[in-house]
Amino acid sequence: MATMKVTEKYEMTEADKKYECEKTFMGEGTPTAADFWKIAKDDHPGVQMVMGQKDVNLAGPVKVLSEGEYPVKYKDVYLRPAQARKIFEEKGWGTVAALQLRNPMHRSHEYLAKIAVEVCDGVFIHSLVGNLKPGDIPAEVRVKCIDALVKKYFVAKNVLQGGYPLDMRYAGPREGLLHATFRQNYGVSHMIIGRDHAGVGDFYGMFEAQEIFNKIPTPAEKGKALVCKPLKIDWTFYCVKCDGMASLRTCPHDKSDRVLLSGTMLRKGLSEGTPLPDHFGREEVLDILREYYAGLTEKVEIKTHSAATGK
């Protein structure tokens, strides 16, 4: 993959690792260290990643030799930043909103993307094709689902699908900032931030990933500020009484009238073979996912969280 000229090595004690976890992964859902550590080692993939590191880290300049399997495995969607910027320029897109995806695209994702198309020149449906936690759906299946949606439910000139090789950390608000930084390199002007962006379980507040953009400092040094701005969108769902997609900002009805849409609930329902509510997803997408789950020999338990179930 790469070579490194080692210029530094340093110890990572258990206390160091715990400090990193608390600074990176603690959120409003676990406001104190005691709350956090009651569940973090068992339920947070990012914590497990950090705590599983060896005791010594190496650092130094890296020379990249290969991009691994990504350019070949995802050749139809894999884009480097310069390639994406060139396509945006060719399309004449001055403002571009990115939709971060690690789950298959359900009706709420589709609605978010179409809101973005209404206020920006185009939307960049940008799937993460790196490593995910057990139970998440592989990138090749998600890409196939997006293809089905884009071809039938979007105006082709206003949308672009891409993939990028980042691993998920499930760091909620802080990962939202990381995602926006990466998208800025791709030439994106806005990052769609909806409910529980990059979250897992109940570690974060529903809109904590939106609020963090108001808290980051503005550097005095020119060119250091985050240029990619959040496109903050409220909780979206299908409302029976509205007879369409809506959000908490537009729908006056009771939650009993709403079909709450969640990637976690989608995966749980499909994994367990339970019927999904009407308007949860497009049938073209659900057919692809049912085929995927039917072919699994081992299934991982999907844990739900309070936001996903509307509690």
Nearest to 225 by CA among 264, 284, 181: 181
Q: Using alpha carbons only, what angle is made at residue 181 by residues 176 and 184, rounded to the nearest 5 degrees?
A: 125
Which residue among the candidates 85, 103, 142, 267 is catalytic per the annotation?
103
Please give the Cα distance from 123 to 135 (Å, whole number): 28
Please give the Cα distance from 6 to 59 (Å, whole number): 6
Six token digits for residue 246: 């809506």
The verdict on whether 103 is a catalytic residue reads yes
**Are the C-beta atoms of residues 265 and 306 closer than 8 Å to each other?**
no
Site of tokens 């490194």: 4
Partners of 162 in the beta sheet? Answer: 126
Which residue among the candidates 57, 85, 102, 142 is catalytic per the annotation?
102
Site of tokens 């019927």: 275
Residues forming the active site: 102-103
